[in-house]
Amino acid sequence: MTLGLVFLTALMALIVGWLFRQTIHVRPWRAQFAAAPTSLAVGYPAKKAGLWVFLAVASSLFVLFVSAYAMRLGFADWSPIPRPRLLMLNTAMLVCASLAMAWSVRAVRRRDDGMLRHGLVAAGVLTVGFLVGQLVVWKQLNDSAYVVTSSAAAAFFYLFTAVHGLHVAGGLVAWARAVSRTWREPGTEAAGLCVELCATYWHYLLGVWAVLYALIVSEDLGLAICSSTPL
């Protein structure tokens, strides 16, 4: 749990520190109209703020899963599962999907509709490819008798990939909305924002996957976290 503790303490310190900075040099009892609009809040879209808050929540979720994994890893009965090689291809697809999203955001900035459409379609196809690839990995493991109950390592593998996959699938819903916006009302600010938010989410999920993948393929990494977990 040390990992979860460190992460959440850091996050809380960040939030509390930010709020404290906002409030330290203030004498609220003095009446005066605050006329000075400044950088951060003004014009910052609520949807963007909402996404960042959601990412904080999702991070909390993943960090706690990883904490649980690290804690369970230290137990005597741990027996690792084989590392499916297909995961490399899946990871490559997710990386490409993320790049395609970044490409789409560039297209939005350049107001290049053709490029945007290509980018979005590529991102969608690659992401669906990733999900299908993950299902194939499940089937491979299942066929070689590594089912969810066969070991804790297998159970965590299925759990990690399922939770991450569900987040990716949820992202595809947002992606579908971005696509429909882009086709119906190309070039509008709202459509651009949709694409931008999708891209942020895709990069985030790639980052999460990178961590989960590293943990799955390297017991040493898990043990390194685990060894600092004497609770």
Return the residue matching tokens 């491979």: 140
Tokens 């040493």 found at:
220
Q: Which is nearer to other proteins, 60 or 140 (CB)?
A: 60
Structure tokens at 97: 């999907």
State which amino acid sits at residue 134: Q
Q: Contact at 8 Å (CB) between 75 and 152?
A: yes
From residue 130 to residue 149, what is the string marking binding to other proteins with x (rule CB under 8 A)? ------------------xx
- Pick the closer one to other proteins by CB: 77 or 143: 77
Look-up of token digits 């790049």: 99
Give the C-alpha separation, 32 to 21, whole Å. 20
Cβ atoms of 77 and 152 closer than 8 Å: yes
Least spacing, CB of residue 213 vs other proteins, in Å? 19
Binding mask 171-210 for other proteins (x = CB under 8 A): ----------------------------------------
- The Cβ of residue 109 has, within 10 Å, a number of other Cβ atoms equal to 11
Q: Which parts of 54-93 interact with other proteins (CB under 8 A)?
A: 54, 56-57, 60-61, 64-65, 68, 71-72, 75-78
Which residue number, 1 or 132, has a Cβ lying nearer to other proteins?
1
Which element (helix H / strand E) includes 16? helix 2-23
Q: Which residues bind other proteins (CB under 8 A)?
A: 1, 4-5, 8-9, 11-13, 15-16, 19-20, 22-23, 25-42, 44, 46-47, 49-50, 53-54, 56-57, 60-61, 64-65, 68, 71-72, 75-78, 148-149, 152, 155, 159, 163, 230-231
